[in-house]
Chain A
Amino acid sequence: MNVEALPLEATGPAGRDRRRAGVWLWRALSVALVCGIWEVAGRIPVSIAFPGFAETMAGLASMAADGSLAKAYLSTLQPLVIGVVISAALGVAIGVVMGLSRTFEWFGASVFVVMQAAPMAALIPLITFLYGIGLTAKVLAVCMLAMPVIVLNSYKAVRNVNASLLQMCRSFQGTRLQETVKIVLPDASPVIFVGLRLGVAAGFIGVVLAELLITPTGIGDLITYHRAVANYAEMYASILSIVVFSAVTVGALESAEVALFRPEKKAR
């Protein structure tokens, strides 16, 4: 008997490598193009407050060298990591329970839908009244922004589990617990992970907002300070660093998910 080949586009390992190299080539080209345009715009100059690419890189280098960048990240990562971990644990738990139980769904769905759609950022200044300007306040800011999307994704993932697989489990007399652990969670996990990545991205927004609105620490402090003293290159460099860091983190999470949990995708 024949094993049908992988999707038509795949032409074996050599073809796969060729395609991967092509993608990275285009990406490199794209980055080079953008950096080029940036540099030109900086030299025109578009505005006195618009440093070019080279200048920004120099600013980045200097901040890395004098340790201010590292110090800032150390400070920013604290509330971010704590907030994301709490949001992930609580969020997935709440979402899964909402997916499994109609009662919990009724109580929770509308609240989280509103939280997801509404600009939660408006509430961040409020946090200071209750929790001051310390770590707790910033962790809360991260949680406020990250939890709704994590909850809703987990909830939808569980609600939309493949009905055929559920019936299959029932046909072999699986208990509700077996069904939840062996079918629901594995089938829902891709979407749950999407929610987690979106939550991490939202967490970054939360911590930056907190640092710009509540009290400057970490990266927010770098941005605010350098803006105040008109070190625009350093300011842009700080902003660039956090955007890149966010993109890299989310991308790394996706790779980790595939490596750890998606053996079926690895085979490709």
Chain B
Amino acid sequence: MMGAETRERPPATSAAPSADIVEVRGIAKTYEGGVQALQGVDLGFPEGQLTTLLGPSGCGKTTLLKIIAGLLPPNAGDVLVRGRKVTGPGPERAFVFQDFALMPWATVLRNVAFGLELRGMPGKRRHEVARRYIAEMGLSGFEDRYPHELSGGMRQRVGLARALAVDADVLLMDEPFSAVDEQTRRKFQEDLLHLLQIEKKTVIFVTHSIEEAVYVSDRVVLLSPRPGRVARIIRTDLATAGAPDEIRRDKVYLDTVEEIWQLLKQYLT
């Protein structure tokens, strides 16, 4: 299945294999009107790793992500975080939206601090925290701007900063780079890898781009469409430390992308 070369990604936390910080068991979801989005999905997400949900349109990857986030209730099955069942959003999970979901009437600073605002953190403190993450995202100087004054890429950085500011253990990212142009997207992917080396988070990532999935992930979960089911789980063994820009020419990377493409091709009508 995978290339013989084993350039392992250095384990993010302590010993490998990591324990599953998030687990879904038997998840099923049917929409009103009878469309069955997901059926019998069992998955574990190891702590400190980036797992991608990949598949063609209609395979339920965003639905599954929102169920994990607690934004959608499943028709059957459970979501467990650190072994405990959860039924709604929680402080240990933070969501990054595809369309950024920024409040257009609020400044960048207020947007980034919003998660903390909802928790009741006093203004001065939460603005301090927000400024720190604004700087980390490279947006220093834009604290008092409004979303409409920013480019798409910058808006998503705000969304990311907001998710980081609440210091959740698990980041749920719903096609976060699909609404920006290709060049910005590539930069984002590289920046994400850099970021994850500093902030040790578990990430569950949804995308429909095979290259993106293989590039950023430790594991790729392939979902088949209608109804969504787990088709395959692929470990991506790529060396990432220090050379994100070399990955795209790495033979293992290219082989993996091709392998996944062959698997997914059958689902395209």
List A residues at the B interface (Cβ < 8 Å): 1-4, 6, 162, 164-165, 167-175, 178, 182-183, 186-187, 261-264, 267
Contact = CB atoms under 8 A, between A and B. Distances in A.
B71 A3 contact: no
A225 B103 CA distance: 54
Main secondary structure of the interface of A (DSSP, over half): helix
B89 A6 contact: no
Contact of A264 (B91, B105, B154): B105
Interface in B39-89: 66, 69-71, 88-89
B133 interface: no
Interface stretch (B93-101, B201-209, B229-237, B246-254): B93-101
Interface string B122-157: 000000000000000010001001111111011000
B103 A171 contact: no
Contacts of B150: 3-4
B95 A168 contact: yes
A2 B114 contact: no
Contact of B101 (A2, A168, A182, A262): A168
B134 to A, nearest CB: 13
Contact of A263 (B105, B114, B154): B105
Contact of A172 (B94, B105, B148, B151): B94
B94 A186 contact: no
B104 interface: yes
B223 interface: no
B118 interface: yes
29 contacts: A1-B138, A2-B151, A3-B145, A3-B151, A4-B151, A162-B101, A164-B99, A167-B66, A167-B71, A167-B97, A167-B101, A168-B95, A171-B70, A171-B89, A172-B94, A172-B114, A172-B166, A173-B90, A173-B91, A173-B119, A175-B118, A182-B114, A186-B103, A187-B103, A262-B105, A264-B105, A267-B146, A267-B148, A267-B149
B225 interface: no
Interface centre among A6, A172, A187 (most CB of B within 10 A): A172
B115 interface: yes
Contacts of B88: 173
Q: Which of B94, B105, B145: most chain A Cβ within 10 A?
A: B105
A6 B149 contact: yes
B89 A172 contact: yes
Given A164-B101, A187-B103, 15 more contacts: A1-B138, A2-B151, A3-B149, A3-B150, A4-B151, A165-B103, A167-B71, A168-B95, A169-B118, A171-B69, A172-B114, A172-B118, A172-B119, A178-B118, A263-B105
B151 A171 contact: no
The listed residue with most B CB atoms (<10 A of its CB), out of A170, A173, A187, A261, is A173
